[in-house]
Amino acid sequence: MNYPVWQLGFPGGLLIAAVAVLHVFISHFAVGGGAYLVLTERRAYAHNDLELLGYVKLHSKFFALLTVVLGAVTGVGIWFTIGLVSPEATSSLIHTFVWGWAIEWVFFFVEIAAALIYAYHWDTLDRKTHLIIGWIYFVAAWLSLVVINGIITYMLTPGRWLETRSFWDGFFNPTYWPSLWARTAMAAALAGMFGLVTAMRERSPLRERVVRWAGWWLVLGIAALLPLSRWYFHDFPAYSRAYFSGTYTALQHALRGGLACAAAALLLAVVFALLRPKMMNPVVVAVLLVAGFGVMGSGEYLREFSRYPYVINSYIYANDIRMAQVQSITASGVAGTSSWVDANAADPNAYGGQLFAMQCGSCHAVDGYRGMRRISRGWDAKFASELLLHMPVVRATMPPFVGDEHDRAALGSYLASLAPATPSGANEKELGQQVFAMHCAMCHSVGGRRRPLDFKGTDPDAIVSMVGSLHDMSPDMPSFSGTDAQRHALAVYLSNPSQ
């Protein structure tokens, strides 16, 4: 993020995620819930079911309050957070899609007006007009999804836009359609979930009728969502599909968690809404809502993670540096292009800390989630500044470090200052294990999946000389910066790593 004075204490991306997941949860309900309202109202008229009509009236007030108030507040919250965390990308999105946003806001205005008229004019409008207002609401709400979906999917798969810079190429990009239909399915599922919430206030037998009706929305929504998401992820760029078969445990957890939530929601809805609606109760509804939130949250997380190392694929990095700026920042240094930092601060680590906030802070914090103090434990300044040359090698999810020699030295020295430690151990092998953790484990594993090193049984002396020439073996490796004793201990460990 470009405001290193604005220190969060946790990764900026997490702040966006927290606001955004709440927003998408509410805003997808705002889309599906619109269709649910009018179709339930129509059903009530068709069956002359006054009890059901009473339920829709109640539900419409709940709906209007939740979507208009919470939806709008969190929507504005997203603009606020992305503007602070990624000002460059936010500006770019506004410029590229200025007419898209304008139209989106018109739909949004129509949506709010129609929602309020719908919810508060049951008695003053005739049935037909009231239904028409409901349809106007739903169409405007869905069209706002149609617009925003183009912009969200563009960030991951800008497609031909990268060459043509044409609005329509960016908008109807390679993941536009699968994402639109997957989101529409999720909207239907959420309509059913929230339909169950207000159903809990009704008495039998209306309650069971509504539970079953809302249950169908939920079941069909989730059942459609699964193949549609499969289609959506299938169209992801090849580099990010590779993340899913890689060593990113957080990604694997999010994927499995999302699938488990979807399966749980499907199962509970089939049993408690379709088969045994009498048994539906507020606890099950609460579990369903949590599961729905889990599905939404995991989907958004997977999409954001898949975009790494970019915020707009092949155009702006996730730390808000435009790819086109890389050369000029490398030549003139960060301080030459940002008025926020002071390259000549009295405390050299103060400048390094600002660089950390700018270039790493959207994904790493000092402590906590992806905490840098834990990661950089035991690094020396020389090693750290050399490692900065290889960020995309450490993880393909990371943008390259951008800056001149002075910047790299300052950030390296700051990283080394976070958790100074000297490797130690009861014996040489334990010492070697720690040396490995501090100098190699960010890129290699022993017996694991990440660039596994297997030197079991190799003569330690041969390993010692090899470690002396790492940088010659692969230009992607920093040279070993430890002492001779540490190098020997590392060799002993690698030649016999088992416990």
Per CB under 6 A, residues contacting ligand HEC are: 248-250, 308-309, 318-319, 359-360, 362-364, 370, 375, 387, 390-391, 393-395, 397-399, 401, 439-444, 451, 453, 466-467, 470, 473-474, 476-478, 480
Q: Token pair of 302, please?
A: 């997977």
Between 264 and 398, whose beta carbon lies closer to ligand HEC?
398
Distance from chain centroid for Cα 76: 18
CB of 385 to ligand HEC, least distance (A): 10
CB of 461 to ligand HEC, least distance (A): 14
Between 130 and 364, whose beta carbon lies closer to ligand HEC?
364
Q: Is the peptide bond before 309 cis (omega within 30 degrees of 0)?
A: yes
The single-letter code of the amino acid at 180 is: L
CB of 411 to ligand HEC, least distance (A): 6
Between 261 and 391, whose beta carbon lies closer to ligand HEC?
391
Between 270 and 396, whose beta carbon lies closer to ligand HEC?
396
What is the rounded end-to-end Cα distance, in angstroms, of the chain? 43
Between 18 and 70, whose beta carbon lies closer to ligand HEC?
18
Q: Is the peptide bond before 475 cis (omega within 30 degrees of 0)?
A: no
Asked if residues 59 and 198 have their Cβ atoms less than 8 Å apart, the reply is yes
CB of 183 to ligand HEC, least distance (A): 24
CB of 468 to ligand HEC, least distance (A): 10
Between 265 and 381, whose beta carbon lies closer to ligand HEC?
381
CB of 22 to ligand HEC, least distance (A): 22
Q: Token pair of 62, please?
A: 């709940």
- How would you classify residue 318: left for phi > 0, otherwise alpha for psi between -120 and 50, otherwise beta? alpha
Distances (CA, A) of 93 to 17, 116, 258, 301: 18, 30, 28, 20
CB of 414 to ligand HEC, least distance (A): 9
Distance from chain centroid for Cα 257: 14
CB of 437 to ligand HEC, least distance (A): 9
Neighbours of 234 (CB within 10 A): 10
Rounded (5°) CA angle 72-60-193: 80
Between 327 and 474, whose beta carbon lies closer to ligand HEC?
474
Q: Which residues contact 316 (CB under 8 A, 6 or more apart)?
A: 86, 88, 89, 92, 310, 322, 323
Neighbours of 229 (CB within 10 A): 23
CB of 467 to ligand HEC, least distance (A): 5
Between 280 and 435, whose beta carbon lies closer to ligand HEC?
435
Between 206 and 466, whose beta carbon lies closer to ligand HEC?
466
Distance CA 179, CA 172 (A): 11
Rounded (5°) CA angle 32-275-59: 35
CB of 92 to ligand HEC, least distance (A): 17
Q: Minimal CA–CA distance to 244: which of 230, 262, 225?
A: 230
Between 271 and 466, whose beta carbon lies closer to ligand HEC?
466
The radius of gyration computed from the CA coordinates of the chain, to the nearest angstrom, equals 27
Asked if residues 364 and 10 have their Cβ atoms less than 8 Å apart, the reply is no
Between 7 and 113, whose beta carbon lies closer to ligand HEC?
7
Asked if residues 103 and 147 have their Cβ atoms less than 8 Å apart, the reply is yes
CB of 9 to ligand HEC, least distance (A): 16
Task: Decide: residue 347, CB within 10 A, 0-12 exposed, 13-18 middle, 19+ buried.
Answer: exposed
Distance CA 360, CA 412 (A): 12
Between 100 and 399, whose beta carbon lies closer to ligand HEC?
399
Asked if residues 431 and 423 have their Cβ atoms less than 8 Å apart, the reply is yes
Distance CA 56, CA 203 (A): 14
CB of 375 to ligand HEC, least distance (A): 4
- How would you classify residue 6: left for phi > 0, otherwise alpha for psi between -120 and 50, otherwise beta? beta
